[in-house]
Amino acid sequence: MIRIGVDIGGSHVGVGIVKNGVLIDFTERDLTKQDKINIKKTLVDTIIELINYILDDSRLNISDIDLIGIAAPGTIKNNIIVKSPNLGIINFDIISELQKTINLPMQIRNDSKCAAIAEKYYGSLKNADDCVFLCLGTGIGAAVFMGGKLLEPKRYAGFEIGHIVIEKDGKPCNCGKNGCFETYASIRALKRNIAEALEIENDFSGKYLSEILSDFNNEKISKVIDEYLDYLKIGLCNVIDVFEPEVISLGGSFAYYENNPIFKKLLDRLKEPNSTYNQESSPEIRVAEFKNGAGIIGATVTIK
């Protein structure tokens, strides 16, 4: 079974060939500020172009593909992107637009849910029945499994853990509220605060960010990291107290920090006294095995 997965991020579009749950080829393109002016047309054109490229690169024909799965940020309902604040999209039937050019079955799901499905079926959550996936990147997305099954509300995808309020009258969020978890504990928030502390442009690479996070001798950086971990701990402990998971998997860009000192510092914070209600049975904290490829893999999974 060969399928195509599409991952729409806040700043990129990725397309991959997935065979039996394994990502065998991948390509991506960054989205510029100019691209976002007419974001709907940009997404359709870019996805079609990348699909054609990767089919050619993999020496496959469109007839070899069973299905195209799309992972998109925001609220998804009835295969429509109802709203995606980080992309500035409202009510976009992207599947209908794509099927004008590509005549294949398609499905779309929230990107964090897709990444969670990949980790649950094949990766870091495979052996856990009650577990939570948090995608820390441009925002914070989430998915929850209970008894091995993905929890899916009837009305919307739900579990917008990134938009629980952790700071009364806090910083404004793209969703319209103030003080949201993702406004303080997303990787975008961390980059923004580091850039402000160091008085540099907020356009540095993930590799450079990882290097910065290893420098605890810099007082300015250390202060930013401590504050970031304070907020991340608050959100995680709320999640633990509500869902009592066996395992929490951290995905998105944060998944690349498993061997960075910031991950150990987070684990130490979570062990502090009275962090959670039932601290004697705290969950195991893992990082996503599939890193940023999780969304593409999970987008191709059909849940019956």
Each of the 304 residues of the chain gets a pLDDT tens digit; together they read 899 999 998 778 999 999 988 999 999 998 888 888 899 999 999 999 999 999 999 999 999 999 999 999 889 999 999 999 888 899 999 999 999 999 999 999 999 999 999 999 999 999 999 999 999 988 999 999 999 999 988 888 789 999 999 999 999 998 899 999 999 999 999 999 999 999 888 878 888 888 888 877 788 999 999 999 999 999 999 999 999 999 999 999 899 999 999 999 999 999 999 999 998 889 999 999 998 889 999 999 988 6
pLDDT at 213: 86
**Is the distance from CB of 39 to CB of 8 less than 8 angstroms?**
no
pTM metric for this prediction: 0.89
pLDDT at 36: 83
pLDDT at 271: 94
**Is the distance from CB of 296 to CB of 259 less than 8 angstroms?**
no
**Coil, strand, or helix at residue 74?**
coil
Q: b/e map of 253-276 (b: 16 or more CB within 10 Å)?
A: bbbbbeebebbebbeebbeeeebb
Listed in sequence order, the DSSP H helices in 124-280 are: 181-185, 187-198, 206-213, 219-243, 261-270
pLDDT at 95: 97
pLDDT at 85: 85
Listed in sequence order, the DSSP H helices in 73-218 are: 94-98, 111-122, 181-185, 187-198, 206-213
